[in-house]
Amino acid sequence: MSENANHLSCAAFQAQLPQLIASGASIAEHPHLRGCDNCRALLADLETIAEAARQLFPVEEPPDALWQQIESAIENEEAVSGPQQRN
């Protein structure tokens, strides 16, 4: 980490943020964050969003009619080319 990291502008810090976050390193103690409420709040928000997204895993149910369409399409394909030769 640079000696002058605490003197980074918000723009410069935020430009580095994608790489810092993706690195997996703890950036909570980054010198810039010690003196910048704005970027600290930004980081907290991004972490909150990422965590919420990980928990956001709704399993949606496709309509029953979808299987009928797939089945029909398979039958059409097999009518044209015959049952697929497998194994």
Cβ at position 26, least distance to another protein in Å: 17
CA–CA distance, 5 with 33 (Å, rounded to integer): 9
Q: Which is nearer to another protein, 3 or 11 (CB)?
A: 11
Which residue pairs from 42-48 have beta carbons closer than 8 angstroms and sit at least 24 positions apart in sequence? 42/14, 42/17, 43/17, 46/17, 46/21
CA–CA distance, 18 with 49 (Å, rounded to integer): 14
Cβ at position 8, least distance to another protein in Å: 12
Length of the chain: 87
Interface residues with another protein (CB under 8 A)?
Answer: 10-11, 14, 17-19, 21-22, 37-39, 41-42, 44-46, 48-50, 52-54, 56-64, 66-71, 73-75, 77-78, 83-87
Give the pair of three-digit tokens for residue 57: 């895993």
Q: Which is nearer to another protein, 3 or 81 (CB)?
A: 81
Q: Which is nearer to another protein, 25 or 74 (CB)?
A: 74
